[in-house]
Amino acid sequence: MPSKSLTKTSIALLKSVVLATLGLSASAPQAQAWPTAKDRIEFMVPFNTGGSADRMARMLAVRLSKELSGVPINVTNRPGASGATGATFFAKQQSCDGSKFMVMQATPFLANAILTGTAPVKWEDFHVINTQWIDYAIIAVNKDSRFKTFDELLSAIESKKGAVSSATMSGSGSFMQQLALLEIMGLPLDQVRFVRYDGGAPVRTSVAGGQTDFTFVAATGSESIRDRIRSIGVVNDRPVTEWEGPLLNEVLKRRYNKELPIFSSYTTSVFTLPCFAKQQPERYQTFVAAYEKVMRDPEFVKELKEKGVGALWIGPEESRKLTTSGYEGLSKYTRLLNAYK
C-alpha cells in the first residue's frame, strides 16, 4: 500500500502532467476580467460635435466607463458624407476585441449611406447592440420667421423655384422626406434651395440663426434650441404634445388629397462589429450587460431626459428587428436621393 507522501507526490505529478498537456502551468493565474484599467475603448461618431449622436455618445461614455471598471471611453468624431465616411472607416478597420464601437443613427443615415452606395459596405457589416433613441421630425423655422404656418411655407415653395431654402443633410431621412414632399406637390426636386450640412447641430444652427428658411429635423434633439425656433408641423404618424403644428399628412391630405409614408424617424444606436460578438462572446456579454445596467439606472435615465437625450433599452434582438425594418422601408425611396443631383 503506498505511503501518504507518495500519494501526494503522485497526485501532484499527475496534476502537472494534465496542466502541461493543456499548455498551462500549476501556478497559472485565471484569465483577467475585461476590461481593465490598461484597456481603452473608443466610441466613434461619424458626425461633427454637438449633434444628437455625439451628445448621446458622450453621456453614455462617462456613465459606462464607471460601470466597466473605470476603463477610459473616448469619443472621437470622424465626420463626412452624412456619416458615410466614418461608418466605412469603422467597418473596414475590423476591430474585434471590443475596443471600438460606433454611435450613429441606424436609420436614416447608416441605411441611406449603404443604399446610395456612398458607403461601400453592407448592412450585415454592422451589429447593433441597442437603439437608445427613437425620434420623430418636426418642421422647424426661425422663431421670427415670416412663415407662421405650414400652409404658408408650402404656398411660398409653390410660388417660385428657389424662393425658399432648407437646411438639411444629404443622406438623411428628413431630406428624403422633403424630396418626396416635392414629388407629390408636382414640383421639381430642386424647387427648394437645399443648403446641405454634415451634422444635426449645424442644420439647427442654420435655421435658428435665420440663414435658411426651414428644416425637417429631429424633435427631441432640438430641445436645446427651442427658444430660437418654432415648430409649424410634425412629421409623425400620430399626434404629439411636445411640439406645435399639424401632422404632415393632415395638411397634405387637405391640400393635395395625398399622403406620404413617414420614413424620417431617427434611430440612434450603438454598434459593434459582428466579429466582436462571435470571436469574443464573453467580452461582448460583459459589455451588453454593463450597457443594460446603466440604462436601467433611474438616476442616469433622469439625467439623459433632462439633457434631451434618448434613454431607451430594447437590447440587441429588438434593436436589430427595428433597424432592419427601417432599412428595408428606406430602400423603397432611395431613388429620390439618386435622382437629386
What pLDDT shows up at residue 95? 84
Q: Going by CATH, does the domain composed of 137-256 fall within 3.40.50.720?
A: no
69, β-bridge pairs:
none
Report d(CA 214, CA 216) in Å as an integer.
7
CB 122 within 8 A of CB 324: no
What pLDDT shows up at residue 13? 46
Residue ranges per domain, the chain? 41-134+265-339, 137-256
Q: Amino acid identity, residue 159?
A: S
What pLDDT shows up at residue 28? 39
Architecture per CATH, 41-134+265-339 = 3-Layer(aba) Sandwich (3.40)
What pLDDT shows up at residue 170? 78
What pLDDT shows up at residue 41? 96
What pLDDT shows up at residue 220? 85
Q: The pTM is what? A: 0.74
CB 183 within 8 A of CB 252: no
CB 337 within 8 A of CB 176: yes
> Could you list the pLDDT tens digit for every one of the 341 residues in the chain?
444 444 544 444 444 444 444 444 444 344 458 888 789 999 999 999 988 999 999 999 999 999 998 999 999 999 998 899 999 999 998 789 999 999 999 998 999 899 989 999 999 999 999 999 999 999 999 999 999 999 999 999 999 999 999 999 877 888 989 999 999 999 999 999 999 998 888 999 999 999 999 999 989 889 889 999 999 999 998 899 999 999 999 999 999 999 988 888 889 999 999 999 999 999 999 999 999 999 999 999 999 999 989 999 999 999 999 999 889 888 888 888 888 86
Which grid cell sits at 75? 469619443
Domains 41-134+265-339 and 137-256 share a fold: yes
Report d(CA 65, CA 325) in Å as an integer.
31
